[in-house]
C-alpha cells in the first residue's frame, strides 16, 4: 500500500479529525487515525467510540488497503513540514514509511481491521441544512448546556425538527436558550439530543461554510454529511425536559437597552460582586436601569446607571452576572430586550434587531433571590 | 440549693379583663354590665369577658354562641386593637419608669425584673403596688400582680388575688407554695398534660416533687427536667426585654364552611395580604410557608414548604400557598384557613457568623423542570 499526498492538505484534514480523539483513551487503538485507501481516494477516520468522523482525501495511488497510524506522532510530524508531497509506504516490517524532501520517517502501524467500525444508521430520516446556519444554531445554544452528570440530557443540545421549523434548545436549569429557524424545515417531526463534543467540532468546521449539511438520524444515532466529511455520533439517551413549560408566557415588565452598553456595565460592575455568587442587582424604574454589586466580605461596591426604555412596574431583581455576560455576549443585535415579571421568575432576553427572516432567539435566565 | 443563685425579684403584671375593661372605660354605658369582646356571630369567639360576664361562666376563647347561651344579656363589642395597643403602650411606659427589664407576653401581660429598679426601692411588693396605682391613675384600669423569685411563681401568684390585687411569694415560702399548688396550675401543663400527670398520681406540686428526675424524664421526655427544677423553685429564665419573633401568621374563620378551592384562593389572597402587611410592619421575611386548614369537623391540617430564599410579598406567598392548597385534596369543607411564615430572617446573626451563613448567600434559582 502506497500513496502520495500533499502535506498541508493532509495536515488540515487530520487536524479537524484529531479534535475527536481523547487525550487518554482506554482503548489504545483510538489513539490512531484509520487510513483506508481505495485507489485515488483516501478515507481517514478518527473516533472516540461515541463519535466517528471521517474525511475523504484525494491522493495519488492505485492501491488498496487500510492501516491505523498513531495520531499524535503523525500530527506532530506533519506540522513541521513546509508544503510538499509526501509518500506513505506500508512496509513489510509493520511500519509505515513517510518520505519527504528532507528524509524518511517510520511509524509503527496497526492493522486497519482493529479500528472500530462506525455505526451504520438503520432507517434514518434526513434533513438538509446550510452549514453556517447549523454552526450558528450550535454556537447560539451550546454555551447554555449543562455539565451535570446526574442529568445527562441537559449536557447536550436538543434538536427539534418539524415541518414548520427547526429548533435547537440548551439549558443547564439556570439559563436556557431556544434558537429556531422557520426558514429551514424537515419533512417529518423528530427530536434528539446531541452531545456537546461533536457539536463543538461541527461548529468549528462549518463556521463559514455555505455548503449543505445532510443530517440523518434515527433513535440512537445521527450522521452529519458535508463536503468530503461524515460524522456519525451516538445521541444522548433520555427525555429532554419540557422546556416550553418553563418559558413564561407573560412577562409584563419590559426593558429595552443597548446591548453593548448593558454588557459593558454588567462586566464592570460584576468585578465588584461577590466572588462566588457573581450576583448583581438590577433596579428598573422609569427610564433608568441601575446596576449594582457588592462584595460584603471585602467592602467592594459598584453602581452604574444606564438610560433605557422601561415599561412596567418598578422592580429589583438579582442575576448571576456571568450568565448575563455570556448571554449578552452571544447575541449580536444592537439592542436587547429583557422581559421580567417577579424577582423569582425567569427573565427573557431577546435580541430586538439583526435577526434573519424566520430566525428567533429566546434566552431565559433565572434570577438570584436577593436577601434584602 | 436555690441560694446558689442570686435571688431575683420578678413581678408579673396582668391587666384585669383588659379588652373588656377598656371598652367599659371608653363607653360608660357598659360599666357594670356583662361585656364580651369578640365576634358575636355564628362563629365568633370571645376574646375577653368582663368580670360581670365571667360570673355567668363566660370565658375567653369560648364560642360566641355558647357565651350567649350562658348569659343572654351579654353585650358583644367588636375588638379595637389599636385602642388596646395605645393603652398597652401607656402601661409599658409606666413599667419603664421602674425597670428596663420588661418582657411583654401580650398586650395586657408582662414580666418585670425589679431586682434592681430605677426607684431604688428594695421591696418588690411595694414596687408592684406602686405600679398598679400608677396604672389606675393613668388609665383608670385595674391590674393584678404576682411577685416572687422567678417568672413562673410570679405568674401563678398574679392569679391568686385577682382582680385588682396582688400576691407576694417571698423566697422562703416558694417551696411551700409550689408544693401546695395544684398541678394544673403549673405553667406548661394543659389539659392533656394534666390528665397524664393525674394518671401518674401527680396532683400537686408535692407529688411532683416526690418523683425522681429519671421518672419524670421517662414520662415527659425533655420537659421532665423542667418540671423537676420548677417544682424546686429553680427557674433561671431571664426577663427578656426583646423577644425575637419566631413566626408570623394570619388566619380567618369563615362564617360558612367553604368547599370550593376557588373561594379558598380568594380568601387566601386576603390572608396573604394581611401577612404581607404584618411582615412589612415587623420588617421580616421568612423561608417556611405553612398553610393551615381547619376542616368543618375541627380537624387541623398543616401543609408547609421551605424555600431556599426569604419571601415577604403577597405574590410570592400566594404562589406557594396555591401549590400547597392544590397539593392534596380537601378532606372536608373548610372552616378556617391560615397562612404562617416561619424561619424568619431576624434570627440572631451572631450565631450564624461562624459557619458560612447560608442565609446570607443569595440563592440562584433554577428552572422548574
Q: What is the pLDDT of residues A79-119, one digit of tens each?
A: 999 999 999 999 888 899 999 999 999 999 999 999 998 88
pLDDT in tens, B256-311: 888 888 889 999 999 999 999 988 888 888 889 999 999 988 888 999 998 888 88
Instruction: Give the pLDDT of residue B347.
Output: 64
Mean residue pLDDT of chain A comes to 93
> Which is more confidently placed, B235 or A123?
A123
Pick A279's closest partner by Cβ from B316, B362, B368: B362
B369 reaches A (C-beta below 8 A): yes
Q: Which residues pair with A179 in a beta bridge?
A: A168, A361
Which domains occur in chain A, in start order?
2-114 (3.10.150.10), 125-244 (3.10.150.10), 249-365 (3.10.150.10)
Q: Is B109 a catalytic site residue?
A: yes
B360 reaches A (C-beta below 8 A): yes
Digitized pLDDT (tens) for each residue of chain B, 369 residues in all: 444 456 888 999 998 888 888 988 888 888 888 888 887 677 788 888 888 888 888 888 888 888 888 888 888 888 888 888 889 989 988 998 888 888 888 888 899 998 888 888 888 899 999 999 999 998 888 999 999 988 888 988 888 888 888 999 888 888 888 888 888 888 778 788 888 888 888 888 888 888 888 888 888 888 888 888 888 878 777 777 776 778 888 998 888 888 888 889 999 999 999 999 988 888 888 889 999 999 988 888 999 998 888 888 888 889 889 989 988 888 888 999 999 998 888 765 443 333 333 444 567 888 887
Pick B365's closest partner by Cβ from A176, A367, A371: A367
B217 CB-near residues (< 8 Å, 6+ apart): B224, B225
pLDDT in tens, A132-176: 999 999 999 999 999 988 889 999 999 999 999 999 999 999 999
B316 reaches A (C-beta below 8 A): yes
Q: What is the Cα–Cα distance from A20 to A32, expressed in whole angstroms?
A: 11
Residues in chain A closer than 8 A to B286 (CB atoms): none
Pick A370's closest partner by Cβ from B315, B316, B362: B362
Flag if B368 and A318 touch (Cβ within 8 Å). no
Q: What is the Cα–Cα distance from A108 to B190, expressed in whole angstroms?
A: 90
Which domains occur in chain B, in start order?
10-15+82-173 (3.30.70.270), 18-81 (3.40.1170.60), 181-235 (1.10.150.20), 247-344 (3.30.1490.100)
Q: Say if residue B25 is preceded by a cis peptide, omega within 30 of 0.
A: no
Secondary structure letter of residue A60 according to DSSP: B
Which of B109, B217, B269, B332 does the annotation list as catalytic?
B109
Extract the runs of DSSP E, i.e. beta strands, from chain B: 10-15, 35-38, 46-49, 75-77, 102-106, 109-113, 143-148, 166-168, 247-258, 286-295, 300-311, 334-344, 363-364
How many helices (H) and strands (E) chain A has is answered by 6, 27
B266-273 long-range Cβ contacts below 8 angstroms, 24+ apart: B267/B337, B268/B318, B268/B321, B268/B322, B268/B325, B268/B337, B268/B339, B269/B314, B269/B318, B271/B337, B271/B338, B271/B339, B272/B314, B272/B317, B272/B318, B272/B321, B272/B339, B273/B314
Q: Which residue of A has its CA nearest to B308?
A: A369
Q: Residue A156 is placed in which grid cell?
A: 447536550
Give the β-pairing of A229-234 and A51-58. Answer: antiparallel
Q: What is the Cα–Cα distance from A280 to A278, expressed in whole angstroms?
A: 7
Residues in chain B closer than 8 A to A276 (CB atoms): 361
**The 3-state secondary structure of A163-193, one letter per residue:** CCCEEEEEECCCEEEEEEECCCCCCCCEEEE
CA distance B285 to chain A (A): 9
User: Hey, is B231 helix, strand or coil?
Assistant: coil
Pick A173's closest partner by Cβ from B360, B362, B367: B367
Residues in chain A closer than 8 A to B360 (CB atoms): 296, 371
Q: What is the Cα–Cα distance from B157 to B314, expressed in whole angstroms?
A: 44
Residues in chain A closer than 8 A to B308 (CB atoms): 369
Q: How does DSSP assign B40-70, residue by residue?
A: -STT-BEEEE-HHHHTTT--TT-BHHHHHHH
Amino acid at each position: 500500500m502506497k500513496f502520495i499526498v500533499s502535506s498541508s492538505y493532509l495536515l488540515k484534514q487530520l487536524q479537524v479529525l484529531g479534535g475527536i480523539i481523547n487525550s487518554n483513551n482506554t482503548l489504545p487503538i483510538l489513539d490512531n487515525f484509520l487510513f483506508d485507501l481505495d485507489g485515488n481516494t483516501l478515507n481517514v477516520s478518527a473516533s472516540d467510540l461515541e463519535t466517528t468522523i471521517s474525511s475523504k482525501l484525494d491522493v495519488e495511488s492505485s492501491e488498496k488497503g487500510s492501516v491505523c497510524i498513531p495520531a499524535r506522532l503523525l500530527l506532530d510530524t506533519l506540522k513541521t513540514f513546509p508544503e510538499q508531497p509526501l509518500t506513505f509506504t506500508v512496509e513489510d516490517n509493520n511500519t509505515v514509511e513517510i518520505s519527504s524532501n528532507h528524509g524518511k520517517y517510520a511509524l509503527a502501524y496497526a492493522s486497519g481491521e482493529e479500528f472500530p467500525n462506525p455505526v451504520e444508521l438503520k432507517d434514518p430520516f434526513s434533513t438538509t441544512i446550510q452549514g453556517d446556519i447549523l454552526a450558528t444554531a450550535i454556537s447560539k445554544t451550546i454555551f447554555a448546556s449543562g455539565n451535570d452528570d446526574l442529568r445527562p440530557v441537559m449536557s447536550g443540545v436538543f434538536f427539534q425538527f418539524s415541518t414548520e421549523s427547526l429548533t435547537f434548545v440548551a439549558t443547564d436549569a439556570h439559563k436556557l436558550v431556544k434558537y429556531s429557524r422557520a426558514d429551514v424545515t424537515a419533512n417529518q417531526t423528530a427530536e434528539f439530543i446531541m452531545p456537546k463534543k461533536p457539536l463543538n467540532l461541527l461548529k468549528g468546521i462549518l463556521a463559514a461554510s455555505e455548503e449543505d449539511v445532510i443530517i440523518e438520524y434515527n433513535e440512537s444515532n445521527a450522521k452529519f454529511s458535508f463536503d468530503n466529511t461524515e460524522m456519525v455520533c451516538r445521541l444522548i439517551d433520555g427525555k429532554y425536559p419540557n422546556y416550553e413549560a418553563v418559558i413564561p408566557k407573560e412577562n409584563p415588565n419590559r426593558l429595552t437597552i443597548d446591548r453593548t452598553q448593558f454588557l459593558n456595565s454588567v462586566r464592570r460592575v460584576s468585578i465588584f460582586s461577590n466572588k462566588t455568587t457573581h450576583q448583581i442587582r438590577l433596579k428598573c424604574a422609569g427610564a433608568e436601569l441601575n446596576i449594582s454589586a457588592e462584595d460584603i466580605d471585602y467592602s467592594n461596591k459598584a453602581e452604574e446607571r444606564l438610560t433605557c426604555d422601561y415599561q412596567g412596574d418598578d422592580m429589583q431583581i438579582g442575576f448571576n452576572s456571568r450568565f448575563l455576560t455570556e448571554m449578552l455576549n452571544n447575541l449580536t443585535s444592537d439592542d436587547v430586550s429583557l422581559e421580567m415579571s417577579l424577582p423569582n421568575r425567569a427573565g427573557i432576553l431577546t435580541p430586538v434587531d439583526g435577526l434573519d427572516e424566520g430566525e428567533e432567539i429566546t434566552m431565559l435566565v433565572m434570577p438570584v433571590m436577593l436577601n434584602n | 440549693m436555690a441560694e446558689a443563685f442570686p435571688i431575683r425579684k420578678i413581678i408579673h403584671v396582668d391587666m384585669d379583663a383588659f379588652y373588656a375593661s377598656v371598652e367599659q372605660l371608653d363607653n360608660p354605658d357598659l360599666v357594670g354590665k356583662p361585656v364580651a369582646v369578640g365576634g358575636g356571630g355564628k362563629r365568633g369567639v370571645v376574646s375577653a369577658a368582663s368580670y360581670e360576664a365571667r360570673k355567668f361562666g363566660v370565658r375567653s376563647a369560648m364560642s360566641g354562641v355558647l357565651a350567649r347561651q350562658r348569659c343572654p344579656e351579654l353585650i358583644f363589642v367588636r375588638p379595637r386593637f389599636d385602642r388596646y395597643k395605645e393603652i398597652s403602650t401607656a402601661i409599658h411606659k409606666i413599667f419603664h419608669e421602674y425597670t428596663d427589664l420588661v418582657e411583654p407576653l401580650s398586650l395586657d401581660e408582662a414580666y418585670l425584673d425589679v431586682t434592681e429598679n430605677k426607684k431604688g426601692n428594695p421591696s418588690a411588693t411595694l414596687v408592684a403596688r406602686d405600679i398598679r396605682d400608677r396604672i389606675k391613675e393613668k388609665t383608670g384600669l385595674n391590674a393584678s400582680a404576682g411577685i416572687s423569685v422567678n417568672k413562673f411563681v410570679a405568674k401563678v401568684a398574679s392569679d391568686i388575688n385577682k382582680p385588682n390585687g396582688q400576691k407576694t411569694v417571698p423566697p422562703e415560702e416558694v417551696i411551700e407554695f409550689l408544693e401546695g399548688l395544684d398541678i394544673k396550675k403549673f405553667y406548661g401543663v394543659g389539659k392533656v398534660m394534666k390528665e397524664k400527670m393525674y394518671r401518674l398520681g401527680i396532683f400537686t406540686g408535692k407529688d411532683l416533687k416526690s418523683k425522681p428526675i429519671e421518672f419524670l424524664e421517662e414520662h415527659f421526655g425533655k420537659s421532665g427536667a423542667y418540671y423537676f427544677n420548677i417544682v424546686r423553685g429553680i427557674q433561671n429564665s431571664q426577663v427578656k426585654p426583646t423577644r425575637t419573633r419566631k413566626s408570623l401568621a394570619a388566619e380567618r374563620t369563615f362564617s360558612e364552611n367553604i368547599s370550593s378551592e376557588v373561594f379558598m384562593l380568594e380568601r387566601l389572597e386576603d390572608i396573604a395580604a394581611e401577612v404581607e402587611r404584618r411582615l412589612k410592619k415587623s420588617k421580616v421575611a421568612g423561608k417556611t410557608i405553612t398553610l393551615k386548614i381547619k376542616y368543618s369537623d375541627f380537624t387541623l391540617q398543616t401543609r408547609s414548604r421551605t424555600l431556599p430564599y426569604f419571601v415577604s410579598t403577597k405574590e410570592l406567598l400566594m404562589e406557594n400557598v396555591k401549590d400547597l392548597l392544590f397539593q392534596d385534596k380537601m378532606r372536608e369543607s373548610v372552616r378556617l384557613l391560615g397562612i404562617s411564615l416561619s424561619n424568619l430572617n431576624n434570627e440572631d446573626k451572631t450565631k450564624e457568623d461562624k459557619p458560612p451563613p447560608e442565609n446570607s448567600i443569595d440563592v440562584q434559582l433554577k428552572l422548574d423542570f
